[in-house]
């Protein structure tokens, strides 16, 4: 049971915290978060006032986290598997900024998602030029200057891209689509977590090594499954598989041009080339529209096969991608 003064202080601080965050968000990002929700803001104030005046007790706990919980933020779902593998049975909360089903090339976070970063101990960025990070990492740093950010691909050589990633550098941002690159990302992630919690260094590094061994096993398995393909060219709609193809001696032929739908001439050329190679399958992603991929498949008298580069069950998903490529 809390005293009236404690209860009043808690509820009023929650109210003010909500408004303070929105003011800062508006200043940094130029979005008037009040104008569209004026009624809801006044409703919130009235509710808090009513509780302050009439409630007799409160059983809730303040909006704080367990001091032993590590809170790690990351950009895409595959990174969550890396973080949880390193943490093992340790208490860890993972904030994935681009949720399942969304694309890091187009996704925009809500104010509440950005607000959740206030309690984060670490942000593990891909650092490869993916658009979400291009747009938001600097903004997040301005809002939370004390939040440690790790660039998990800082030592990974980037492939040339198709213009939809880091446009200035022209690089391919899909670094996680290589198990070799994933091993580097896992090591960088572990180092960042150890820096925050040095007392768990031995635990985290042992868990890291166990996961790296699983990465190697899956990598060997994929090599075996793809070594005898009759054709080593795959047709994809979105060019997310460059690193995967590099690792397994495949060629990626993509329909998208610089992150946009193909032109009429580009589509005609692609159809001619695919027919010459005897390709009748096009790989598309469930996170984006498959309409154009289906149109292309009809022209080839072929089929669209869905494979996702963003599934959270990373190791299982990489094996599934290889199986679908090997089966077609």
Does residue 176 belong to any structural domain of this protein?
Answer: yes
Does residue 62 belong to any structural domain of this protein?
Answer: no
Answer with the one of 223, 253, 268 that is the final residue of a domain. 223
CA distance 272 to 64: 60
**Sign of the alpha-carbon torsion through 98, 103, 108, 110:** negative
Q: Are residues 304 and 244 in the same domain?
A: yes
CATH number where 148 lies: 3.40.50.1980
CA distances from 209 to 85, 148, 215 (A): 10, 23, 10
Answer with the one of 200, 223, 246 that is the final residue of a domain. 223
pLDDT of residue 28: 57
For residues 313 and 79, the answer to whether their CB atoms sit within 8 Å is no
Q: pLDDT tens track of the chain, all 328 residues?
A: 444 444 444 444 444 444 455 555 555 555 554 444 444 444 444 444 444 344 443 333 333 444 568 999 999 999 999 999 999 999 999 999 999 999 999 999 999 999 999 999 999 999 999 999 999 999 999 999 999 999 999 999 999 875 454 445 589 999 999 999 999 999 999 999 999 999 999 999 999 999 999 999 999 999 999 999 989 999 999 999 999 999 999 999 999 876 778 888 888 999 999 999 999 999 999 988 888 899 899 999 999 999 999 999 999 999 999 999 998 6
CA distance 225 to 218: 10
Q: Are residues 46 and 82 in the same domain?
A: no
Q: Are residues 204 and 240 in the same domain?
A: no
Q: How many domains does the chain have?
A: 3
Q: Are residues 76 and 213 in the same domain?
A: yes
Does residue 302 belong to any structural domain of this protein?
Answer: yes
pLDDT of residue 17: 47
**Sign of the alpha-carbon torsion through 274, 279, 284, 290:** positive
CA distance 29 to 114: 12
pLDDT of residue 82: 98
Does residue 87 belong to any structural domain of this protein?
Answer: yes
Does residue 37 belong to any structural domain of this protein?
Answer: yes
For residues 306 and 290, the answer to whether their CB atoms sit within 8 Å is yes
Q: Are residues 38 and 91 in the same domain?
A: no
Q: Are residues 98 and 195 in the same domain?
A: yes
Does residue 65 belong to any structural domain of this protein?
Answer: no
Answer with the one of 195, 223, 251 that is the final residue of a domain. 223
For residues 256 and 165, the answer to whether their CB atoms sit within 8 Å is no
CA distances from 304 to 177, 194, 203 (A): 20, 43, 44
**Sign of the alpha-carbon torsion through 207, 208, 211, 213:** negative
CA distance 129 to 105: 10
Q: Which helix (H) or strand (E) holds 149?
A: strand 148-151
Q: Are residues 204 and 137 in the same domain?
A: yes
Coil, strand or helix at 124: strand
**Cα Dmax for the chain:** 79
pLDDT of residue 260: 78
Q: Are residues 111 and 241 in the same domain?
A: no
The tokens describing 270, both together, are 């692609």
Does residue 59 belong to any structural domain of this protein?
Answer: no
The tokens describing 38, both together, are 């004026």
Q: Are residues 78 and 108 in the same domain?
A: yes
Main-chain dihedrals φ then ψ at residue 107, nearest 5 degrees = -70, 140
Q: Are residues 115 and 246 in the same domain?
A: no
Does residue 63 belong to any structural domain of this protein?
Answer: no
- Output DSSP code: residue 77: H
Residues 6 or more apart from 199 whose CB is under 8 A from it? none
State the pTM of this model: 0.80
Q: Are residues 244 and 159 in the same domain?
A: no
CA distance 83 to 91: 11
- The DSSP-derived string for 96-144 is ESS-TT--TTT----HHHHHHGGG-SEEEE--S--HHHHHHHHHHHHH-
- For residue 74, the cross-strand partners are 96, 124
Q: Are residues 118 and 179 in the same domain?
A: yes
What is the span of the domain harbouring residue 306? Answer: 230-326
Q: Nearest 5°: CA angle at 287, between 270 and 231?
A: 40
């Amino acid at each position: 049971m809390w005293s009236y003064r404690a209860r009043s202080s808690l509820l009023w601080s929650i109210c003010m915290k909500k408004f303070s965050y929105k003011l800062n968000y508006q200043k940094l990002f130029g979005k008037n978060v009040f104008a569209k929700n004026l009624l809801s803001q006044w409703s919130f104030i009235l509710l808090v006032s009513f509780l302050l005046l009439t409630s007799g007790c409160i059983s809730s706990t303040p909006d704080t986290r367990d001091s032993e919980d590590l809170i790690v933020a990351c950009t895409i779902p595959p990174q969550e598997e890396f973080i949880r593998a390193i943490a093992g049975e340790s208490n860890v909360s993972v904030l994935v900024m681009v949720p399942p089903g969304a694309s890091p090339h187009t996704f925009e976070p809500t104010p509440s998602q950005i607000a959740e970063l206030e309690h984060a101990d670490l942000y593990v960025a891909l650092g490869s030029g993916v658009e979400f990070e291009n747009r938001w990492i600097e903004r997040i740093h301005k809002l939370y200057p004390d939040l440690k950010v790790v660039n998990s691909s800082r030592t990974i050589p980037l492939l040339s891209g198709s213009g939809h990633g880091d446009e200035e550098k022209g690089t391919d941002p899909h670094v996680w689509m290589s198990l070799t690159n994933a091993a580097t990302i896992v090591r960088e992630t572990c180092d960042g977590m150890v820096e925050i919690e040095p007392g768990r260094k031995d635990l985290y590094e042992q868990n890291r090594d166990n996961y790296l061994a699983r990465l190697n096993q899956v990598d060997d398995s994929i090599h075996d499954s793809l070594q005898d393909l009759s054709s080593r060219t795959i047709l994809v709609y979105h060019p997310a598989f460059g690193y995967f193809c590099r690792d397994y001696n495949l060629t990626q032929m993509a329909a998208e041009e610089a992150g946009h739908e193909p032109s009429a001439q580009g589509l005609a050329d692609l159809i001619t080339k695919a027919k010459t190679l005897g390709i009748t399958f096009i790989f598309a992603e469930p996170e984006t529209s498959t309409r154009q991929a289906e149109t292309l498949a009809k022209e080839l008298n072929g089929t669209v096969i869905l494979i996702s580069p963003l599934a959270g069950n990373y190791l299982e998903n990489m094996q599934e991608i290889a199986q679908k490529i090997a089966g077609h």
